[in-house]
Amino acid sequence: MRLELGNIRIEDVKFGSKTEVKNHTLYVNKEELITLLSEDERLASVSIELAHPGESIRIMPVKDVIEPRVKVDGPGGLFPGFISKLDQVGSGRTHVLKGTAVVTAGQVVGFQEGIIDMTGPGADYTPFAHTHNIVIVADPVEGLKQHAHEAALRNLGLKAATYIGEAGKNVEPDEIKTYEVLPLFENAAKYPNLPKVVYVYMLQSQGLLHDTYYYGIDVKQMVPTLMYPTEVMDGAIISGNCVSACDKNTTYHHLNSPVIYDLMEKHGKEICFLGCVVTNENVTLGDKQRSSNMVAKLVEFLGADGAIISEEGFGNPDADLIMNCVKVEKKGIKTVLVTDEYAGRDGASQSLADADQLANAVVTAGNANEVIYLPPMEKLIGYAQPADIIAGGFDGSLQPDGSITVEIQAITGATNELGYNKMTARGY
């Protein structure tokens, strides 16, 4: 499967009379977009503001972040199962508005929601302090249930990103990058002397408000399956969960997964990238055993020499991570794990809830329990009150002057387990 990504560099975002891209500036018709998003009867109000890198702005509580993209050529469309029909995606050509993002916020849905500071010490922990953000604050009608509230905000973000992405459809990209993985036997035959690598892509699916979607289906309802790497670049995987903000894979993270992009860059040069095994994270022991058995079987069936396994979330998913690792290793296939740590505020506690001697190659995205002081900002987009109850916060986190003291667990993307961050650790 072959996909061309046309990256359009966006250096500024402004409101304008027409939604379009001119001279690396994205103009957004605010009123038109609000009218489109207000069609959802589950929402009582919708407002839109802009947040640029370096501005004294705090956005919270953050639900999701989505990068605007548009399908220019080829089958299917963006975000299949939500915005476009359930066609196969991942081939043809897609344009990307690089440097900008849609951020959804509003009244808190679940307690695991996050903070984005556009400047100050908090900005060093989130990639979204460095994007030009179109922030949509939407509040629900009175009495709306949590799941309906989350669904409304999820759809709102995808609709907004699709509307904005259309502005790049007829724009000549600044660069075009091509990504291609051939069908399995052709792929292996083309690179017979390179080590064959599989990516095991673990998706959050543990309980209430812990949902991720693959072609529109909640992955709780699926068993491990195979995916071309380019499918994720067209939005085949959508975030719909309220896990801790630091290691939640937003939709933006899925669209830009560093594991997939880095493996694609090395494909045909240092490795033969066979593709992805997409799997869920489960609650019950039986479900964990079923999925991990199938993961190991698929990795072996593909003929892999090595596997990279990434986690989403922490605690209970650590068991899924270690089960996948151990069962793949026992097939004679070497693994590398990508996770983060909850090692206590002093860093002295056990980092993961599960462990095994076979899990001896691990990349960490940092310790989510590290405490940080976030000074007051000149402007708040959203609501500050949830600071005391979101994961990483505590009673007294929010001070009268607007400053917040929290664990970095509360910062969106701080310890992202796809590696889309700046943090790690080195063992001695």
pLDDT digits (tens, 9 = 90+) for 33-53: 999 999 999 999 999 999 999
Distance of CA 306 to the CA centre of its chain: 24
Residue 87 contacts residue 75 (beta carbons within 8 Å): yes
Q: What is the dihedral angle through the alpha carbons of 320, 324, 330, 334, rounded to the nearest 10 degrees?
A: -130
208 to each of 146, 235, 241, 385, 408, how far by Cα in Å?
9, 23, 9, 23, 23
The encoded tokens of residue 406 equal: 């929290």
pLDDT digits (tens, 9 = 90+) for 322-367: 999 999 999 999 999 999 999 999 988 988 989 999 999 999 999 9
pLDDT digits (tens, 9 = 90+) for 186-211: 999 999 999 999 999 999 998 778 89
The pLDDT assigned to 426 comes to 60
The pLDDT assigned to 428 comes to 47
Amino acid at 279: T
pLDDT digits (tens, 9 = 90+) for 236-255: 999 988 789 999 999 999 99
Scored b (16 or more CB within 10 A) or e, 181-198 reads bbeeeebbeebeebebbb
* Active site annotation includes 242: yes
Q: Is the pLDDT of residue 427 over 70?
A: no
Q: Is 405 left (phi over 0), alpha (psi -120 to 50) or beta?
A: beta
Q: Is the pLDDT of residue 145 over 80?
A: yes
pLDDT digits (tens, 9 = 90+) for 83-139: 999 999 999 999 999 999 999 999 988 777 899 999 999 999 999 999 999 999 999
How many residues are there in the chain? 428
Q: How confident is the prediction for the chain on average, in pLDDT? A: 95
The pLDDT assigned to 272 comes to 98
Give the mean pLDDT of 139-145: 94
The pLDDT assigned to 424 comes to 66
Sign of the CA dihedral with 319 first, then 368, 147, and 230 last = negative
